[in-house]
Chain A
Amino acid sequence: MIFNDFSPTSSTGDLTFDERLLRRLNLDGPLLVAVMALAIAGLAILYGASNEDSSMVYRQAIRLGLSFSVLLVVAQISPQFLRLWSPWLFVLGLVLLLFTLHSGHIGRGAQRWLSLGFVRFQPSEIMKIAVPMMVAWYLHDKPLPPNWKQLFPLAAIVVIPVVLVAIQPDLGTALLIASAGAFGAFFSGLRWRVIIMLLVLLAIATPILWHFMHIYQRERVLTFLNPQRDPLGAGYHIIQSEIAIGSGGMFGKGWLHGSQSQLDFLPESPTDFIFAVLGEQFGLIGALVLLALYGYIIARSLYIALRAQDTFSRLLAGSLTMAFFTYVFINSGMVSGILPVVGVPLPLVSYGGTSMVTLMAGFGILMSIHSHRKLIAS
């Protein structure tokens, strides 16, 4: 249960072997179980989404294993240590981002990849962690809520990486980084009138943003507003996705029996549109179970943020959680046709590597925050 937590003040003598093991490993049992359940369900959905391509599932399982070891390692790092290293990680991320822009690999029309000789990765992924860390680091020793003057460095911490990622162009990741930073500011107690003012500023800036958007990004927004305007082009994804979900009905067509996904009508079914595969094969019931699982993970993570003992941990835990929520909402919203198509995967379920490592690192941080609380009564 979300709030059924072993208290750090209770004596270890009352704990079972499993609980002792979890404590020793600095892990949070409920969160761990939920994340594992999600990952395993994800593998099954992926098998149905990839035309029963077991090698694809195998590769994804390897990635899950690697990512899980990252979680285990990160969970051992104390929040104090994370805080000390926050600025350096942020600077490293910035340098890599600039370097990527200068000489990165071009994949699928965007310059996102950086090769380290043996492995290629996206520096923008680092920023998904580094930006909320930097926000929390910047605010951790200041009286909250931040005052006017502090707002400008805060804005710079968020906006610079976001712009660097957006011009790659990778709108999805830029959105996720922006949301992580924004939620950090929000949790610091930013006054409502400041929040409203910022939102108004954003609304004014939208036409300017539109001007800087790539044509395909504008297409996506226009297509979202009216998918039928180009049913075989830009609108095809969303139409086929809605057909897949809608035809699944209450109980779905059964695992591996989705005509939309098995017959390739649904584009990018193993990656960004895997939620539609779930909707087609497992129906409304399956989709709601998955949403509930996400809901549980988010609620548990917010609870961890609530129980955190210092400003840095609180802000970091809160913003990482809400960034995860943003992932889930943007993906499920776009696949079901209530948001425009943005390249955001369904976390821990969509096929793909780098984002999974970052996500697991995020959960590692949450577990570290929860397990490294000082054993003093609050």
Chain B
Amino acid sequence: MARIRIRNEWLERHQFTLRILCAGVVGLLLLVTVAIRLFYLQVVNHSRYVVLAENNRLREEPVTPPRGLIYDRNGVLLAENRPSYELVIVPEQVPDMQTTIAALGKIVNIEPDDIKRFDSLLATRRPFQPLPLRTELSAAEVARFAADRQDFPGVDIRATLSRYYPLGAAAAQAVGYVGMVSTSELAKLDPAQYTSTSEVGKVGVEAFYERLLHGSVGTREVETDAQGRPVRVVSYTPPVPGSDLYLSIDMRLQEVAEKALGDNSGAVVAINPQNGEVLALVSTPSYDPNPFVDGISQEKYAALSNDPNQPLFNRVLRGQYPPGSTLKPFVALAALNYHIVNPLKKVYGPAVFYIPGSRRPYRNWDPAGCGQVDLAEAIMVSCDTYFYSLGLQLGINDMHRYLVDFGFGQPTGIDLPHENTGLIPSPAWKRRMDGHAWYLGNTAITAIGQGFVLVTPLQLASATATLSMQGKRYAPRIVMAVKNPLTGALKPLPPHPLPSPPEADSGAWKLIVHSMREVVANPAGTAHAISYGAKFSIAAKTGTAQVVAAPRGLHGEGPEMDLPKKLRDNAMFIAFAPVDHPRIAVAVVVEHGGYGAATAAPIARKVLDAYLLHTAGGDVAGP
């Protein structure tokens, strides 16, 4: 039985009013909740969200400074930044990456290595950033791509700057090269400066002057949208370009020296004695530095480092050779300095010298002996037996001290990295090395530049320059001027004087210089052959240094040139000219060249001629 319900209009209205009020109040409370939430976001946490919004909006991008250029002293360009073309792909604009890369491979050469590198970039970079697929496109490749560009949406060619050495191998040993920054290098560099730089100096001037050449990175603050695309530049701090460097190298001289060395492995260093500027720095064979710039391939590198002639080895800085007889003038100076010899007293130079109380023979290079010679004549004819005796009178300790004061056995302080020290032996050193005592025989052969003593060609040239200046000593320098990147002003780097060797009286210097002049001028001198046609006076000293312990009796017996080249001695030669006002000092090393007089001396003569007769060797001719 259904209950009959009767509508109560008033009750229904009342009920409805209550419900409406109820809904209104709940609605109001909920809107107030939203308002409280807004207050929390916009007032309480406002500053936090401002930071988050700014981080969203602004991005700092580094602006790479152009690397400083390198010139020779006459303004010949040695290292430049060349626009290079790379093939870049914007992933998000490419419909199908696989097909695109395959099609591109028919137009430009794409190695598996390129694809591997590209894939790793693809995984880490954002899809709107252009990623390089190939660098260093050839002109033909650029042209081929340009013709078919419309077939490749999202693919483009981008110009960048990349280091280029226009003279290739000619200046490589001095200039060095740049290469990709490695992670271990990055740890030593200022990371802020290298965020956008991929190249860093590895060897040579490029490495030593990295900070000057690099310049200072600029920044561009860009506003980006949510996809990270730059919308506009908010602020811009321009980079400070790297400084241009002017080397003291004279490329004409460098090329003459290189040509004179020919196919020989060896080194030529020429220094201006007046200020220590390095005029030529040649190490042969050399190498083309350009492949190193974008990362040299494995095979190419292996070929260079396995080459028996060691083209990557910088002989000038790192080659350590027994100086042979080229050390004699310096030993003679030591003896004069310590007053242990009367230079004018004639002494008999036998064919064989015996240390008193010993039966071991120490031979003269000329089996005929030297006859009666004074100190100057002993240098002129390079009398070994005279110097064995002199060395014993001088003693190893004074000899060691004096040679070190001359700059041997330590880095010269040139503005190039990786310099070797050479070695001037001493009893203390020998005890440290092999625990054995120093014998008088060691002293004797040290006096003629054999045995343990080792010098670098650079040390030899630098010491020759000091000798030519009668003790005035400068550290060798290879960079002579730096161009301010902002003002364009050229700032010459001042010479870097070093303490002179102990003051022998000026008569001693004159005597040694005279004796070296006689080496060339006197028909009996060992380098008389190079005097013919010389338009200036030359002072020089020859040297022939044993490389391997050749079978007894080989040395000085019969013409060396008959020996297999590997067993031949190193030919050494030092010279400076003009004698009275020296403008150039040279050291020449020809590995396995045999007699210094025969092989190395003519090379030195060519260098002296080239410098003193055909060049001014003057000021920086740069812009």
B-binding residues in A (CB < 8 A): 143-145, 147, 183, 186-187, 189, 240, 242-250, 259-260, 263-267, 279, 283-284, 287-288, 291, 294-295, 298-299, 302, 305-306, 311, 314, 318, 322, 325, 328-329, 332-333, 336-338
Contacts of B37 in A (CB 8 A): 333, 336-338
Give the shortest distance, in Å, between B438 (CB) and chain A (any CB). Answer: 74
CB 8 Å contact bits of B222-235 with A (1 = contact, 0 = none) = 01111100010000
Q: How many A-B residue pairs have CB under 8 A?
A: 138
Please tell me if B309 contacts chain A, counting CB pairs below 8 Å. no
Interchain CB contact under 8 A, A306 and B46 = no
Which of A187, A240, A267, A329 is in CB contact (< 8 Å) with B19?
A187
Give the 7 A-B CB pairs with smallest separation, nearest first: A246-B49, A247-B53, A143-B5, A189-B15, A246-B41, A247-B49, A284-B42
A329 contacts B52, C-beta separation under 8 Å: no
Known: A245-B38, A260-B53, A263-B57. A302 touches B225 (CB 8 A): no
Are B227 and A244 neighbours in the complex by a CB distance under 8 Å? no
Chain B positions 9 through 41: 1 when the CB is less than 8 Å from some CB of chain A, otherwise 0: 000100111011001100110110111011101
Q: How far is the CA of A201 from the CA of B160 in the complex (A)?
A: 69
Q: Find out whether the CB atom of B52 lies under 8 angstroms from the CB atom of A291.
A: no
Which of A144, A279, A302 interacts with B38 by CB under 8 Å? Answer: A279
Task: Report the separation of the CA atoms of residues A332 and B32 in the bound assembly, to the nearest whole angstrom.
Answer: 11
Asked, given contacts A259-B56, A291-B34, whether A144 binds B12 with beta carbons under 8 Å apart, the answer is yes
Residue ID in chain A nearest B49 by CB atoms: A246
Whether B7 and A143, one on each chain, are in contact in the complex, defined by CB atoms closer than 8 angstroms, is yes
Bound CA–CA A306/B16 (angstroms): 8
Chain B min CB distance to A248 (Å): 6
Taking the nearest CB of chain A, how far is it from the CB of B35, in angstroms? 6
Q: Say yes or no: is B397 at the interface (Cβ < 8 Å to chain A).
A: no
Residues on B lying within 8 angstroms of A by beta carbon are 5-8, 12, 15-17, 19-20, 23-24, 27-28, 30-31, 33-35, 37-39, 41-43, 45-46, 48-50, 52-54, 56-57, 223-227, 231
Main secondary structure of the interface of A (DSSP, over half): helix
* List of B residues within 8 angstroms of A249 by Cβ: 42-43, 46, 50
Of B12, B17, B39, B41, the most chain A CB neighbours within 10 A belong to B41
- A287 B38 Cβ-Cβ under 8 A: yes
A246 interface neighbour in B23, B28, B31, B45, Cβ under 8 Å? B45
Evaluate whether A245 and B15 lie within 8 angstroms (CB atoms) in the complex, with A263-B226, A328-B31 already known: no
B46–A250 CB distance below 8 A? yes
Q: Of A147, A183, A329, which is within 8 A of B31 by CB?
A: A329
In the complex, the answer to whether B31 meets A295 with C-beta atoms within 8 Å is yes
Alpha-carbon gap, A295 to B28, bound state (A) = 7
CB<8 Å pairs between A and B, sample of 14: A143-B7, A144-B12, A189-B16, A240-B226, A243-B53, A246-B46, A250-B42, A250-B46, A259-B223, A263-B57, A266-B226, A291-B31, A299-B24, A336-B41
Q: A250-B43, A265-B226, A295-B28 are in contact. Are A318 and B20 (CB under 8 A)?
A: yes
Alpha-carbon separation in the docked complex, A246 to B17 (Å): 39
Q: How far is the CA of A264 from the CA of B53 in the complex (A)?
A: 12
CB distance from A310 to the nearest CB of B (A): 10
Chain B residues lying within 8 Å of A145, measured Cβ to Cβ, are 15
The docked-state distance in angstroms from the alpha carbon of A265 to that of B227 is: 8
Docked complex Cα distance between A291 and B31 (Å): 7
Given contacts A259-B56, A260-B53, is CB(A329)–CB(B42) below 8 Å?
no
